[in-house]
Structure 1
Amino acid sequence: MPKAQKLTLAVLINAALITSTYASEQSEAKGFVEDASGNVLFRTGYLNRDKKNGVEDTSSYAQTAMVKLDSGFTQGVVGFGVGIIGDASFKLGSNNNAGNGMIPKHPDGSAYDHWARGGGYVKARYSNTTVSYGTHILDIPVLASNTARLVPEYFEGVLATSREIDGLELTAGKFTKDQYSDQINSDGRHLDRAVVWGAKYKFDDHLTTSYFGLDSKDKLGRHYINANYKQPLNQDSGLTYDLSAYHTKWDEKASTYSSTTDDLSNRKNTIWALSTTYNTGPHSVMLAYQQNNGNTGYDYGENADGAQSIYLPNSYLSDFIGNSEKSAQLQYNVDFGGYGVPGLSWTTAFVYGWDIKVKNLTDNAQEREFFNQVKYTVQSGFAKDASLRVRHSYYRASDEYQTNAYIGDTNEWRLWLDIPVKFF
């Protein structure tokens, strides 16, 4: 037998032996009804952007109920199940200046009074491998649903996840519809076909690595890598090192806004970030550096490629993803549970970006953001798990990097009141 075939056979046998030593998720299925779950999240959301330099402000205020009903899997070698996810919302007040992906609008620009969205899915599971088809909220670095608005972004298609080997999770999927948070049309982003694949491997309690890829037809190809290492120092302190990077190449039909090249077939970007976090007791401090290379910034979200596809540290109101931009961040977080107020936390950060290229204007634009967020989660009683999150960003940029190129000077407030209710 050739050496290559022997090696392949050995790997397959070893994988089978490893798999057999771990419990099968499907073998532990209790039943279609017995494992079913249902919940609703009531959210009151407010997002206000106070724009500067004569740019019109935007303000959105609305209420929603996000529902998820998920059956268990039937028993047997292959289990089957179904589910529903969706949201029903209504505006609070006139919302004459609604924007920022919060509330859908009529053709005349007025905000919807009320609206509903969502869909269903079917699923099947064999051993530790699950395949689902239908409406999804995606949490994949190269194709991630926006969950930072009133309601999430939905993708429609097929998604497979497999955990047959301990520590290794494989992902593959194909999606043909993309509905942004403020869209009624289930394919409002006009997605043709997006294929994703990837793997995440946990070596031990300290080291985790991952790779994911995306091929969006006639739009772009994207690759993502990550390595995360946790170094314990003593009983209540440690260091976390994180390295992440994306590489994107756009096709001629794709949309970008920051390119400095006129060759639409040669638009490229590589963005990487390195962060180190020191945590001790209730405190943590993070230092991060992020850098773009190529002739285009990391113009994600422009081609039905997920409006939250940025798993990088320097991402708040601004993502610091300008053409050739470099940025540095200092972040501090405290959990007041260590001071007798469990459920209360505060995060503050300052990010500064420089060396941004703006076509025909400059090679040295700058931007900066001062970010603060306070969150409180109820710990017990009838309102257990209800949370209030208040977030503020103070953002400023140089004259060449205003709304002609990116966000423009902005003071932003976001307030989210979340009340989860479990049905069963």
Structure 2
Amino acid sequence: MKKNLSVPTKVAICLGAFSLCTDAARADFINDSHATIDARNMYMNRDFHNSGSLGPMRDWGQGFTLRLNSGFTEGVVGFGVDAIAQMGIRLDAGQRGSTTNLLVLDSDGKAENEWSEAGATAKMRFGKSQLSVGSLQPSLPVVMYNDTRLLATRYTGAMFTSKDIDNLNLTFGQLSKVNLRDSTDNKNMAYAYNGLSAGDFDFAGGSYNFTKDLAVSYYYGRLEEAYSQNFLGLTHAVEVSPGVKILTDLRYFHSDDEGRAVGGVIDNDFLNGMVTLDAKGHGISAGWQKLSGDGNFPFLAGADPYSVNLVTHNTFAKQNTKAWQLRYTYNFSAMGVPGLTFMTRYVQGRSIEVGNVSDGHEWERDMDIAYVIQSGPLKDLSLRWRNVSFRSGNGLTTDLDENRVILGYQIALW
């Protein structure tokens, strides 16, 4: 693994960027700035059931993410800079070649003792529009960065956002490199299912709010030499009685091949959606999807697929997957216990096509209990326990049970 600069050196470089503004504009640049440290301690225990070569995998680590965000210089066009520095520390590790993706592994498959990285973003503001160039973490239907381990995925590129037209949010840009959640290197963009290097990723689109409760969106994404994708979405909320709402979330993708599909061609349609009844702390949801056509549902390496059936372990995005979900949540603040929440869900997929399997099936059951301390010296400290059971049929993949324990805390520096 390549030698990294020490974290203090990287932080000093990031802080030094704030001196780039002129003296006349420094007030807004500094006074509107803020800095935070996100601390995340995470333990993962993954137990495989039908694999003779994969034993239990138990990894434990501590992650720190420092974010520095400046304001903008004064004037019609304002300039600023953001910076991010990340560090991970191995607290314990299981066998070599672990597949938890929690820790960074060296060339021999052994977990590193510590690793660090940093990135910076130059930004320019004009009216309600902003251009950002450098380290990015977009959260869009065609590219959603992953933040489910110690450190989050980062991309390198340029992104333009605009809110100058009332009720309309526009976004477009290009990504050229990816830094994965368990890596310190910037890599070429790639298709998630085969990891083959591809060209740049271009994206564009936006969302429009007809009312505060009804919004539609369209986005386009194209990974050069891999795939192209169109997305349509609709979200709606209606209050049927005091304290009772029905929430609807519908999503549709059409994806085409650009030369690097796995096992053939990408030409598929992916319709998925969820309806939720939200009533006085209770949430009852029903979700459904139909993936039809050729190939798996494509998405970027380092990103998550934008699907209601993206759950703790599985994506339910293999070729021809039809799936349904039942989900229940409860917020204990309705019982006078603020900060305590509970979630459980069950997803079942069928008709899956992988290799020689033409009617595969798989299911996942998740349970999530979280508590955020509301007062005292440990205020805002969060504790979360995630439990997963995943099973597959027809030799699709490996069955497992998994537990994750996560402690999180954010420190505002200024």
Match for residue 244 of structure 1? Answer: 251
Q: Pairwise CA RMSD of aligned residues?
A: 1.7
Q: 2:34 aligns with which of 37, 45, 49?
A: 37
User: 1:76-115 CA distances to partner (integer Å, 9 max, x unpaired)?
Assistant: 1011101111211110024434333221111111111100
Match for residue 331 of structure 1? Answer: 327
Distance 1:382 1:311 in 2: 38
Moved runs in structure 1, 4+ residues, more than 6 A? none
The answer to whether 1:319 aligns with 2:315 is yes
Q: Spell out the pairing of 1:5-16 with structure 2 (5 A cutoff).
A: none
Note the C-alpha offset of 1:118.
2.1
Structure 1 residues 313 and 360: CA distance shift in structure 2, 3 A: closer
Q: Percent identity?
A: 26
Match for residue 310 of structure 1? Answer: 306
Select between 98-107 and 223-232 the one with higher mean Cα deviation: 98-107
The answer to whether 1:400 aligns with 2:395 is yes
Match for residue 71 of structure 1? Answer: 70
Distance 1:105 1:226 in 2: 38
Match for residue 371 of structure 2? Answer: 376
Structure 1 residues 30 and 247: CA distance shift in structure 2, 3 A: farther
Note the C-alpha offset of 1:309.
3.1
Structure 2's unaligned 5+ residue stretches are: 1-25, 190-196
Match for residue 20 of structure 1? Answer: none
Q: 2:230 aligns with which of 223, 226, 237?
A: 223
Q: Report the AA paired with residue 33 of structure 1.
A: I
Distance 1:204 1:299 in 2: 32
The answer to whether 1:83 aligns with 2:82 is yes
- 8 Å Cα contact 1:174/1:194 also seen in 2: yes
Which secondary structure state, in structure 2, belongs to the residue aligned with residue 33 of structure 1?
Answer: helix
Q: 1:350 aligns with which of 346, 353, 363?
A: 346
Note the C-alpha offset of 1:336.
0.4
Note the C-alpha offset of 1:300.
2.8
- 8 Å Cα contact 2:58/2:93 also seen in 1: no
Which secondary structure state, in structure 1, belongs to the residue aligned with residue 356 of structure 2?
Answer: coil
Note the C-alpha offset of 1:249.
1.7
Note the C-alpha offset of 1:203.
1.2
Match for residue 137 of structure 2? Answer: 137
Select between 214-223 and 66-75 the one with higher mean Cα deviation: 214-223
User: 1:101-154 CA distances to partner (integer Å, 9 max, x unpaired)?
Assistant: 221111111111100012011101000000111101121111121111111001
Distance 1:248 1:137 in 2: 23
Match for residue 93 of structure 1? Answer: 92
Select between 225-234 and 241-250 the one with higher mean Cα deviation: 241-250
Q: Spell out the pairing of 1:149-188 with structure 2 (5 A cutoff).
A: 149-187=149-187
Which secondary structure state, in structure 2, belongs to the residue aligned with residue 92 of structure 1?
Answer: strand
User: 1:377-402 CA distances to partner (integer Å, 9 max, x unpaired)?
Assistant: 12223322221111111111113312
Match for residue 107 of structure 1? Answer: 107
The answer to whether 1:199 aligns with 2:220 is no
Q: 1:412 aligns with which of 396, 399, 402?
A: 402
Distance 1:299 1:212 in 2: 15
Q: Spell out the pairing of 1:248-287 with structure 2 (5 A cutoff).
A: 248-252=255-259, 254-256=260-262, 259=263, 264=264, 266-287=265-286
Which secondary structure state, in structure 1, belongs to the residue aligned with residue 333 of structure 2?
Answer: helix
Which secondary structure state, in structure 2, belongs to the residue aligned with residue 401 of structure 1?
Answer: coil
Q: Report the AA paired with residue 272 of structure 1.
A: L
Q: 1:367 aligns with which of 357, 362, 365?
A: 362
Q: TM-score, normalised by structure 2?
A: 0.88
Match for residue 15 of structure 1? Answer: none
Distance 1:299 1:59 in 2: 30
Note the C-alpha offset of 1:166.
1.5
Q: 1:391 aligns with which of 386, 390, 396?
A: 386
Note the C-alpha offset of 1:343.
0.5
- 8 Å Cα contact 1:314/1:329 also seen in 2: no
For these two proteins, the number of residue pairs brought into alignment is 379
Note the C-alpha offset of 1:180.
0.6
Q: Report the AA paired with residue 90 of structure 1.
A: I
Structure 1 residues 131 and 311: CA distance shift in structure 2, 3 A: farther
Distance 2:188 2:181 in 1: 10
Which secondary structure state, in structure 2, belongs to the residue aligned with residue 319 of structure 1?
Answer: coil
Which secondary structure state, in structure 1, belongs to the residue aligned with residue 334 of structure 2?
Answer: helix
Note the C-alpha offset of 1:30.
6.7
Structure 1 residues 308 and 273: CA distance shift in structure 2, 3 A: same
Select between 313-322 and 232-241 the one with higher mean Cα deviation: 313-322
Q: Report the AA paired with residue 284 of structure 2.
A: V
User: 1:336-372 CA distances to partner (integer Å, 9 max, x unpaired)?
Assistant: 01111101000001111111123323x2211111110
Note the C-alpha offset of 1:288.
0.8
Select between 408-417 and 156-165 the one with higher mean Cα deviation: 408-417
- 8 Å Cα contact 2:255/2:298 also seen in 1: no
- 8 Å Cα contact 1:129/1:161 also seen in 2: yes
Q: TM-score, normalised by structure 1?
A: 0.86
Structure 1's unaligned 5+ residue stretches are: 1-28, 403-407
The answer to whether 1:209 aligns with 2:199 is no
- 8 Å Cα contact 1:176/1:191 also seen in 2: no
Note the C-alpha offset of 1:239.
0.6
User: 1:156-182 CA distances to partner (integer Å, 9 max, x unpaired)?
Assistant: 011110000111100011111111111
Structure 1 residues 191 and 176: CA distance shift in structure 2, 3 A: farther
